[in-house]
Amino acid sequence: MGTYRTVVAPFPCEHCHATFASDVQFKTGDDRDMQRYEQGQSVAGDPLLRPGSVFEAFADRYCPTCSGLLSRDSALLVRAALFELVEANMLVLKRYGVVLTWSELLALKNGPWNSQPPHLQEWLSGRSLSLHFTNEVDDQTFQATGSAAVSRVERRSTQLLAERGWHTDSGVIRDDLQVLVSASAQLWATLPASPNVA
């Protein structure tokens, strides 16, 4: 990540559409001081921020409230996707090669779950579990298909997130912003569709 400068600008959250004070980050090549600016602040005299300069910029796609909701939904929906596919008999959970019983499954399903999105493979490994496609006849093929079964769950949880209005394909950081220095040496962070502020 390194160092960068920040313009604090009011931008809309892509989930709730409320305006929030977004930290828009950009790099000039010398950002050791991690300068922070207000929207429209004068930067006259800074040789790295000459009038007419344009910088690519990054910011959180979602406001802090929605970021928290997304984190919670991601965690819940990975679990929902996992048990949906297991209960639909498309995937099988095993411990040391033995298929889990329904009561073992139920205990896992209702047991504690991270509030942060878990890395599914780590979650499985931490419980000595492995995930298989139902039509696998033995564990010989597991090395080849175990990660595919995990990917199957992750794809389903992405679908469930989309059904709740989260479009996570493009990530939680948006990189389509610009920071520009106007002719009067004011610094502006802009959305891609905004007309130039001159």
**Three-class DSSP labels, 159-177:** HHHHHCCCCCCCCCEEEEE
Q: In the complex with Zn ion, which residue's Cβ is closer, 5 or 61?
A: 61
Is 66 among the residues that bind Zn ion (CB under 5 A)? Answer: yes
Longest CA pairwise span in the chain (Å): 71
61 binds Zn ion (CB under 5 A): no
Tell me which residue of 14, 19, 9 sits closest to 173, measured CA to CA: 14
Range in contact with Zn ion (rule: CB under 5 A) among 8-16, 23-31, 154-162, 171-179: 8-16
CA distance 178 to 56: 5
Q: Is 5 in the site for Zn ion (CB under 5 A)?
A: no
Q: Which stretch binds Zn ion (CB under 5 A): 14-22, 34-42, 99-107, 158-166?
A: 14-22
> Using the rule CB under 5 A, is 70 a contact of Zn ion?
no
Q: Do 57 and 179 meet the contact criterion of CB atoms below 8 Å apart?
A: yes
Distance CA 108, CA 33 (A): 49
Minimum separation from the CB atom of position 195 to Zn ion (A): 25
Task: Candidates 6, 9, 11, 13: give the one binding Zn ion (CB under 5 A).
Answer: 13
Position 33: which residue type? D
CB of 68 to Zn ion, least distance (A): 10
Closest approach of Cβ 16 to Zn ion, in Å?
A: 3
Structure tokens at 144: 């080849």
Binding site for Zn ion (CB under 5 A): 13, 15-16, 63, 66
